[in-house]
Every structure is written in structure tokens, then in C-alpha cells.
Amino acid sequence: MSRLDTVLYPNEGGRKNIFFSGKGGVGKTSMACITAVQTSRKGFKTLLLTTDPAAHIGNVLDKPVSDKITAIEGVENLYAVKIDQKKATEEYKENILKDAEDKFDAHTIMAMKEELDSPCTEEMASFQKFIEFASIEDFEVVVFDTAPTGHTLRMLELPMDWSKQIQLKAGVSTTISEADQKQKELFDKVMDMMKDEKQTTFAFVMYPEKTPIVEAYRASQELMTLDIKTQLAVANLIIPEEQAITPFYQKRRNMQLGYIEEIKETFKDAELLKVPMLEDEIKGITMLKEIGDQIF
């Protein structure tokens, strides 16, 4: 098994989670789709999951994707789902407030509602959904388009239960409920899985220019503080040598080659995957299969 195979495919009888991260516009969604098509063609039952509110995986696959797990026509073993962030956030708030209504007075409930209107709630709700999907044992490979950041994960390592934090503010002391305890155990289990290199691959996608490399490196260092290592660096949108025939494109390609060396150096413990710039938009199963054959 090559090193690239090790980061992409599960060990015998095992499971592999692959997270694609990186700044906006670098090609995370395309890479997640190409990878999911590749693993399913290798015979692994694969779930492609997005937490991106813009959710472009349906456009790239050229197939409908909803918030219910759906089999993708044209590729055996491939399923996809998108987390509807708005819906997830509403459900999350509802559950917390419903649980709190039996326990607290109107003043505390009002404080909780205000607290739950913060932007953090959306991230926590998405992650909660993500934990649900990550805990499904039906799949051998789960590919995540848009990984949770170190910031989100650290925020979640704080006490899991929002109402608990608010109770402390309101001066009400109470033991953690059974449901919260279960949620905490599930969270810990998923976090352990993300730290396990055999089970989880964290990949950063970037194009070979300074800003995406710096941002990816910064984010990877943040994950390192949580013991999550970057195992795959994807250099995307590389100008093919045969296309570099004008002085402009030769200069751009030479610049890119310099930055590819920088990516190798910056992510020296990770496997490097090079993806060429293509003349057409990445769309449809046939094209995803062709790119997979070319780059893997």
C-alpha cells in the first residue's frame, strides 16, 4: 500500500474519515467529490457530507443532494448528504430550550435565548449534526467537505452543555443530565477518532500561492494543539506544463513550482497531492472519475 493509499483508504475491516479544509475558493468541494467517487469505486461504501451552507456538492456531482442520506446514481457505493445549517441550528436551540423550560424561571430562559443567538450556536449545531453522521457505522469511508476548524473544536471542548454554562451565570447549580452526558461521551468518542491517524485524514487544499499556504499552515498548527495532524496537502490549480507556452503562463507556472516546494517544506510530514488546472468546470460523475484516475 502506497503512502497515499494509506491516507485515503481504510485498513482491512476499518473505517476512514477524510476531512477537507482550506480557505474559500481553493477547491475543497471538488476535492471532496473526486475523493468520494474514488473511494466508492475502490469498493468502499462511502458517505460524502457537507456542512457548507452553500453546499455545492450537488453541483459538482451534478446530482440532487438533500439533508437525507441519498444514494448517488452512476457510482456504486456512493451516498451524499448536506447538513442544513439553518434547520440544524433551530433544532439545536429548540432542544436546549425545551430541556430548560422544566427547570428554570422565565428570567433564566430569556438569558438562554440571548446566549443562543450568538454565531457560535450555528457552529455548535453543525458540529452536533456532524457528530451524528460521524457516529453512523454503516459506512467504511466518510468524506467531509469543509472540516471543523481548531477554533470550533476547542470551543466545543468547553463544557458541552450550554444550559449548564447559563445556569452557572444564573447562580443555579444542577447536575449534568443523562442526555447531556450521552452527548458528551459521543463528542469525546468523535474527538478521539479525529486524533487517530489510522481512522482519520485531515487534508488541506490550497493553490500554490503565498496566502492560501500561510492560512492552511496556521489552521494546521491550530489543529496540532488538539493533537490532530495534517496528513494530506493538496496543491490545486497547477498550470500543466504543456499549457505553459506563452511567457505569461511560463512565468506563472515557474512561480507555482516554487510554491509547490514551499508546500512540501511547510507540510513535510504530509503526503502531497498535485491537481492540475483544467479547462472545463469540474462537473459530473464521468469527469470526477477521469480526474481521480489522473491524480491518484
In a domain, 107, yes or no: no
Domain count for the chain = 1
Contact 45, 26 (CB under 8 A): no
Predicted local distance difference test score (pLDDT) of residue 204: 95
Predicted local distance difference test score (pLDDT) of residue 109: 83
- Summarize pLDDT for 17-66 with one digit per residue, the tens: 999 998 888 999 999 999 999 999 999 999 999 876 666 899 999 999 99
Taking 50 as the pLDDT cut, the residues of the chain under it are: 159-160
- Summarize pLDDT for 235-253 with one digit per residue, the tens: 999 999 999 999 999 999 9
Predicted local distance difference test score (pLDDT) of residue 93: 86
In a domain, 161, yes or no: yes
In a domain, 200, yes or no: yes
Alpha helices (runs of H) in the chain, residue ranges in sequence order: 3-8, 28-41, 57-61, 85-101, 106-115, 119-134, 150-157, 162-170, 178-195, 210-224, 247-266, 285-295
In a domain, 218, yes or no: yes
Q: Which domain holds residue 157?
A: 3-86+119-295
Predicted local distance difference test score (pLDDT) of residue 183: 72
Q: Coil, strand, or helix at residue 142?
A: strand
In a domain, 255, yes or no: yes
- Summarize pLDDT for 258-269 with one digit per residue, the tens: 999 999 999 999
In a domain, 166, yes or no: yes
CATH number of 153's domain: 3.40.50.300
